[in-house]
């Protein structure tokens, strides 16, 4: 592709709606900032969350509790508007994702889904570092349903709650990632929480291998699918 065409392709506008299924507005703002930091020129990011529901999603019970607010928000914004080219569900558990994919003809991408796909493109084996152990069964089930069980070595819990992720706790996540690399022999680390998005670049440099963040990978997939005009009939 000629350089001029590449520049034109990259500048094609993409309007992405990011939905954080939990009700913590500050986390939504952080997710939006991470998404915008890696978006192509012309990509517009709108980030929202339900007004009510769990403040974080840690385990099956929280995931179920957030669904009414998530579905209501999605139907109200996407169901009545054609303004968005794609939607990102910014919970690593891909909460409500299968149901939401059936409600619209535009791409609906989960950050867990995006991260796992990306991880398989950079190496034959990956391991995941998430928050609490209660999330491991959900993540493992998703990996299997997406067809990546043979590429996934293990899902590790950092024991850092979702709302505690930050500069003060990043070393716990790095320590668990180093343990995964040493024990699993993996080629990439997947960060198993939207709140870890800001850690990916520094961890990749520190660890010396690809560290995959689902938020920014979901943005990249949405941009590519939009520019390819890939949507359901």
Domains in the chain: ranges and CATH: 3-110+216-227 (3.40.50.12500), 113-213 (3.40.50.12500)
CA-wise closest residue to 197 among 164, 172, 166: 166
d(CA 59, CA 73) in angstroms, rounded, equals 21
Mean pLDDT for the stretch of residues 102-125: 96
Q: Which two tokens stand for residue 186?
A: 């993996």
Mean pLDDT for the stretch of residues 53-78: 96
Mean pLDDT for the stretch of residues 185-194: 97
Residue 8 predicted with pLDDT over 70:
no
pLDDT of residue 6: 44
pLDDT of residue 79: 80
Q: Please report how the helices 60-77 and 136-145 are oriented relative to each other, as an axis angle in degrees rounded to 10.
A: 60
pLDDT of residue 225: 93
**Percent of the chain clearing pLDDT 70 (strictly above):** 92
Mean pLDDT for the stretch of residues 11-37: 93
Task: Check residues 12 and 129 and name the one with the higher pLDDT.
Answer: 129
Q: H-type helices in the chain, by residue range?
A: 3-10, 25-38, 60-77, 97-101, 111-122, 136-145, 170-184, 200-207, 214-227
| DSSP assigned state of 44 | E
pLDDT band at 82 (very low <50, low <70, confident <90, very high): low
Mean pLDDT for the stretch of residues 5-32: 82
pTM (two decimals): 0.92
**Percent of the chain clearing pLDDT 90 (strictly above):** 88
Cα 180 to Cα 11, 63, 119, 222, distances in angstroms? 38, 26, 15, 29
Q: Read off the pLDDT of residues 193-229 as tens digits, 9 standing for 90 and up.
A: 999 999 999 999 999 999 999 999 999 999 999 988 7
Cα 179 to Cα 1, 121, 123, 155, distances in angstroms? 42, 22, 18, 12
pLDDT of residue 81: 62
Task: Check residues 75 and 228 and name the one with the higher pLDDT.
Answer: 75
pLDDT of residue 13: 75
Average pLDDT over the chain reads: 93
Mean pLDDT for the stretch of residues 86-103: 96
Mean pLDDT for the stretch of residues 10-23: 87
Q: Which two tokens stand for residue 62?
A: 């929280």
Mean pLDDT for the stretch of residues 34-59: 96
d(CA 185, CA 56) in angstroms, rounded, equals 31
């Amino acid at each position: 592709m000629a350089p001029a065409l590449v520049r034109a392709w990259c500048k094609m506008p993409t309007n992405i709606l990011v939905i954080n299924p939990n009700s913590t507005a500050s986390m939504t703002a952080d997710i939006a900032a991470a998404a915008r930091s890696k978006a192509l020129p012309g990509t517009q990011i709108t980030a929202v969350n339900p007004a009510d529901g769990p403040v974080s999603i840690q385990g099956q019970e929280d995931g179920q509790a957030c669904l009414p607010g998530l579905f209501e928000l999605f139907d109200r914004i996407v169901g009545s508007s054609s303004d968005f080219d794609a939607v990102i569900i910014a919970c690593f558990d891909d909460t409500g994702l299968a149901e939401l994919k059936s409600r619209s003809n535009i791409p609906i991408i989960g950050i867990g889904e995006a991260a796992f796909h990306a991880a398989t493109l950079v190496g034959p084996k990956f391991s995941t570092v998430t928050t609490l152990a209660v999330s491991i069964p959900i993540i493992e089930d998703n990996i299997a349903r997406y067809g990546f069980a043979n590429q996934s070595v293990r899902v590790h819990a950092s024991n850092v709650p979702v709302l505690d992720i930050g500069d003060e706790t990043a070393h716990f996540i790095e320590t668990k990632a180093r343990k995964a690399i040493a024990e699993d022999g993996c080629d990439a680390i997947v960060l198993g929480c939207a709140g870890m998005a800001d850690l990916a670049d520094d961890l990749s440099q520190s660890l010396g291998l690809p560290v995959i963040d689902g938020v920014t990978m979901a943005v990249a997939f949405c941009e590519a699918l939009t520019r390819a005009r890939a949507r359901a009939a």
